[in-house]
């Protein structure tokens, strides 16, 4: 089945530094990928929609200059958290749309636990 690989699985960084998270579709091409953030005991919140070859679309309240998204190929989307602060500590998850039994579904990466100290 479709696999979305997300790296790193966890990262600890110092305040003020930048962190890049990669999301790869391993056995299919993903024109559209999505980035979510999840705080402890809460649901997933959509941050942005990443489209290959074009600018990402951000949800209301998400700072596009802080969360840089690049979708340069049909198999790779990256999320860069710039000038990270402790409040950016969260679980970040990517997903890609997949075609299954004549319907579109969504396959998720394993997530990245970001801790900013």
Positions touching another protein (CB under 8 A) are 4, 6, 31-32, 34, 36, 43-46, 49, 51, 91, 93-95, 97-99, 103-111, 113
CA distance 33 to 95: 6
Nearer to another protein, 46 or 72 (CB): 46
Question: What's the closest the beta carbon of residue 113 comes to another protein, in angstroms?
Answer: 6
Question: What's the closest the beta carbon of residue 110 comes to another protein, in angstroms?
Answer: 5
Question: What's the closest the beta carbon of residue 16 comes to another protein, in angstroms?
Answer: 26
Question: What's the closest the beta carbon of residue 15 comes to another protein, in angstroms?
Answer: 23
Long-range (24+ apart) CB contacts under 8 A made by 25-31 are: 25/74, 25/75, 25/76, 25/96, 25/107, 26/2, 26/75, 27/2, 27/3, 28/2, 28/96, 28/98, 28/99, 29/74, 29/75, 30/4, 30/74, 30/75, 30/77, 30/96, 30/97, 30/98, 31/74, 31/97
Nearer to another protein, 82 or 95 (CB): 95
Nearer to another protein, 4 or 116 (CB): 4
Nearer to another protein, 70 or 97 (CB): 97
């Amino acid at each position: 089945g479709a696999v979305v690989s997300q790296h790193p699985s966890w990262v600890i960084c110092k305040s003020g530094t930048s962190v890049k998270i990669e999301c790869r579709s391993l056995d299919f091409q993903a024109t559209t990928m999505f980035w979510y953030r999840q705080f402890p005991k809460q649901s997933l919140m959509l941050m942005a929609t990443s489209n290959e070859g074009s600018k990402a679309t951000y949800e209301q309240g998400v700072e596009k200059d802080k969360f840089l998204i690049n979708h340069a190929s049909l198999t790779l989307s990256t999320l860069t958290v710039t000038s990270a602060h402790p409040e950016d500590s969260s679980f970040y998850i990517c997903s890609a749309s997949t075609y299954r039994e004549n319907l579109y579904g969504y396959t998720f990466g394993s997530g990245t636990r970001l801790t900013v100290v």
